Amino acid sequence: MPPPRVRAFAPGRVNLIGEHTDYNDGLCLPFAIERGVTVTAERLREPNEIEAHALDLGEQDRVPLPADARPTAHARGGWRVFVRGAAGELRREGVEPAPCRLEIRGDVPRGAGLSSSAALSIALCLALCAVAGAEPPERLALAHLCSRIENDWCGQETGLLDQLASLYGEAGRAVRIDMRGPGVRPVELDLERHVLATVDSGASRSLAGSGYNERRRECRRAAAELGLESLRDARPDAVAELPEPLRRRARHVLSENERVDAAVAALGRGDLGEVGRLLDASHESLRDDYSVSVPEVERVVAECKEAGALGARIVGGGFGGSVLGLFPPGAKPPPRAVRVEPAPGARLL
Ligand code: GLA
């Protein structure tokens, strides 16, 4: 008999560096954080449905079983789509969701660039599998499954960064992800009494409604103009010949990939000043070449620098969301800053 009541947790993530590279077969260096989404699932005998409660929002929903294995016309926006998407995509993978009552609770701010949506879909899938007495798909397959929930059910063309970070997170470590493969390698995040903190800019955004999908299209066009499958293989001299804005978009992707490995190397030699410089350079590139910053974010970046940050940059999909700052010992981050530390990845509790 499967256990009658299970609890799954999936963390949000902070991407130290390597932004807008994931859907370009590139490199990223995220870590899972302590905050995340918890889903409790209790097996029900009947009726044959999933009864879902979003406790933070005071909302509920019912999903008849067997779940639709394909996104339906109404499947756009909001937490309810994630429940339907998780049930539907699991069914497609051969896991038959069982009747249950779900309680969803989270402490990752939504729309703040800390990946609340990947945390939600992963926690839902782990809980739905456990309460049905089924093994969840292995981590990489689960990351792909959850990214189909975002892409096909929510209309957000996100890459795999958030899901892999949440699933492969480890205490004290970031993960270097090479999206070609993908290959995931832990990287010690020894901050020597420095502090990483995020500051919410207050400008919230939904990825589907922002310019995110447009950036993806621009990258596809840039790769096609260069006769390549992805920008990972682009050469700087060929990129320099592209028309604008494709030239700047591709230049960001190439330079950001280089910064990821430069950051891994700097961490390896304990050179946190260099990590800070790389964060600043990443932000400049995201602002000037990739054009994903907004005035609220610029104000927060300036605030972090005034507070003594060695580096500060916009994190996540952009067009709002949070800023990540690296503060040396003794510096006082802005009052709204929340310290972030690498924490373990998604799991049953
Ligand atoms: C969002 C997406 C990720 C990634 C980042 C930008 O978080 O979900 O797939 O593209 O933006 O690096």
Tens of pLDDT, residues 223-272 = 999 999 999 999 999 999 999 999 999 999 999 999 999 999 999 999 99
- Ligand 1 atom having least distance to the Cα of 18: 12
| Cis bond upstream, residue 71 (ω within 30) | no
Residue 334 CA, ligand 1 centroid: distance in Å: 25
Model's pTM, two decimal places?
Answer: 0.95
- The verdict on the CB of residue 11 being under 6 Å from ligand 1 is no
Coil, helix or strand at residue 60:
strand
Cβ(105)–Cβ(126) below 8 Å: no
Is residue 205 within 6 Å of ligand 1 at its C-beta? Answer: no
Whole-number Å distance, alpha carbon 51 to ligand 1 midpoint, is: 30
Residues, the chain, total? 349
Q: Is residue 46 very low, low, confident or very high in pLDDT (cuts 50, 70, 90)? A: confident
State pLDDT tens for residues 125-174: 999 999 999 999 999 999 999 999 999 998 888 999 999 999 999 999 99
pLDDT for the residue numbered 148:
96
Q: Which atom of ligand 1 is closest in space to residue 159's alpha carbon?
A: 9
What SS3 state is found at 63? strand
Q: Helix, strand or coil for residue 273? A: helix
State the pLDDT confidence band at 314, using cuts at 50, 70 and 90.
very high
**Nearest by Cα to 57 from 21, 120, 105:** 105
What is the average pLDDT score of the chain?
94
Position with higher pLDDT, 333 vs 111 = 333
Ligand 1 geometric centre to CA of 174 (Å): 16
**pLDDT over threshold 60, residue 220:** yes
15 within 8 A of 311, measured Cβ to Cβ? no
Three-state DSSP at 33 gives: strand
| pLDDT given at position 76 | 58
Instruction: Establish whether residue 333 lines the binding site of ligand 1, counting it when its CB lies within 6 angstroms of any ligand atom.
Output: no
d(C-alpha 234, C-alpha 222), whole Å: 9
Instruction: Dig out the tokens for 67 from the structure.
Output: 């779940």
For 152, the token pair is 């096909």
Identify which of 21, 24, 114, 162 to mutate to test ligand 1's pocket (most ligand atoms within 8 A of the CB). 162
**Which pLDDT score is estimated for 293?**
95
> Which residue do the tokens 């990540």 mark?
324
Q: In the structure encoding, which two tokens stand for residue 225, read together?
A: 């103009």
CA distance 20 to 25: 10
49 lines ligand 1 (CB under 6 A): no
Distance separating alpha carbons of residues 182 and 141, to the nearest angstrom: 11
- 148 Cβ neighbours under 8 A, 6+ residues apart: 85, 89
- Indicate if the pLDDT at residue 75 is higher than 80: no
* DSSP code string of 133-200: T-PPPPHHHHHHHHHHIIIIIT-----SHHHHHHHH-BTTEEEEEETTTTEEEEEE---TT-EEEEEE
Q: How far apart are CA 92 and CA 67, in angstroms?
A: 10
**CB of residue 22 inside a 6 A radius of ligand 1:** yes
Q: What is residue 206's predicted lDDT score, i.e. its pLDDT?
A: 60
For residue 211, the Cα-to-chain-centroid distance in whole angstroms is 17
Q: DSSP 3-state helix, strand, coil percentages of the chain (rounded to 5)? A: 35, 25, 40
Q: Is residue 274 pLDDT above 70, yes or no?
A: yes
Summarize the confidence of residues 190-217 as an average pLDDT.
86
CA 21 to chain centre: 12
